[in-house]
Copies of this chain bind each other. A is one copy, B any other.
Amino acid sequence: MPDNAPTRGFPNAEFEMRLDRAQRRMEALGFDALLLTTEPEIRWFTGFLSQFWLSPTRPWFLVVPSRGKPIAVVPSIGTDALARTWIDDIRTWPSPRPTDDGLSLLAEALRDAVGACGTVGLPIGAETYVRMPLDDLERLRSDLSGVSWGDATGLMREMRRVKSPAEIDKIAEACRVACDAFDRMPDIARGGMSEIEVFRAFKIACLEAGADDVDYLVGSAGFGGYGDIISPPSDRPLQAGDVLILDVGLTVDGYYCDFDRNFSVGPPSDAVRRNYEIVWQATEVGIATAVPGATCAELFRAMNAILMPYAEAGAAGEVGRLGHGLGMVLTEFPSIAAWDDTVLEPGMVMTLEPGMATAPGRMMVHEENIAVTDGAPRLLTRRAAWEIPVLEP
């Protein structure tokens, strides 16, 4: 990573500020504690960053009381790592322990936080899940008789959707790294290489440019366009006339970029050139529209208006939206969709992802990452070329 990369981690003041915001909101909503079980929720409050979450074996819990600092209830394998965060109250058990995998410790921590008959907020709405065995959750609820449960989805969305300057710096660095790797594509990818080989070369370029991990890379290539943007790469060699899309979510210090770039293998056809320019133009309109006070629905309509006259099968189509929030997770709320009335605020980081079906089974998708500011948005990615870049056939 270059010398001007942002410092890793956050000062404690950042977590104090987050906790203060959350506790004010908890008070307004009548929550005496929050119970959190997933990686981004727990990391947002604690700073605890670990790939160990990839292992589904052990549950991890955070109890956020309405006063005082959060209580971590975690497997003892995490003791040292948690002790290096700003959290003081760390309660551990040797997990996995089938007879009681942290449940009695968790019940005690919740009782400490809410008393005999308080209210616990747990995120249970759209785009959430509870990361613990359902059987254990049901047992916990029955053990904590007298305690009420509320939905903390809205609270957690409100907390996480506006990013701090330090968070935006990390996302910007992830975007910078991916842009540098995309710039090298004409040197590392050409006709005759399989999709698998191109993906591997691009992942190496991302690591060399400063990525911690290339967590997400999807895409495909096809003659005149591509149809499926969520599958792994195939053995098929790139051929002259192919359009290749790579959509990358790489991380720097636990924060994602999420954007794509298109390439033509050999000179593009007129149709490819035209479709590329239309979607590029829709992105341009998206950038111009993403000012504070605009809603996600307005942003959707502005981009959609550019696409609709040309789209064979309708814009958004199977993807269901034209962009989304971005941060500690590859895809966050809100959605740039006709049904999402979320108002843009300074500090929100979004992907603008206009796409259209250009023919049956063929799409064209562009994507940039922006941070909403007081005025025009800050472009975190370097803007894609307005003509489709060409790879050697």
Contacts and interface: CB of A to CB of B under 8 A. Distances in A.
Interface stretch (A92-100, A269-277, A278-286, A303-311): A92-100
Contacts of A232: 49-51, 212
A127 interface: yes
A55 interface: yes
Contact of A81 (B54, B75, B92, B228): B228
A3 B80 CA distance: 44
B52 A218 contact: yes
A77 B196 contact: no
Contact of A126 (B81, B101, B203, B218): B101
A230 interface: yes
A99 B99 CA distance: 39
A127 B133 contact: yes
A96 B235 CA distance: 31
A176 to B, nearest CB: 16
A153 B329 CA distance: 28
Interface of A: 1, 8, 49-52, 54-57, 75-81, 84, 92, 94-99, 101, 122, 124-135, 137, 151, 153, 196, 200, 203-204, 207-208, 212-218, 227-232, 235, 249, 316-321, 324, 329-331, 335, 337, 339, 361
Please name the 7 residue pairs, one residue from A and one from B, whose CB atoms are nearest each other, closest first: A124-B134, A52-B230, A80-B228, A55-B331, A76-B318, A124-B135, A94-B320
13 contacts: A1-B196, A50-B218, A55-B330, A55-B331, A57-B331, A76-B317, A81-B228, A126-B133, A129-B133, A129-B134, A200-B207, A204-B207, A204-B208
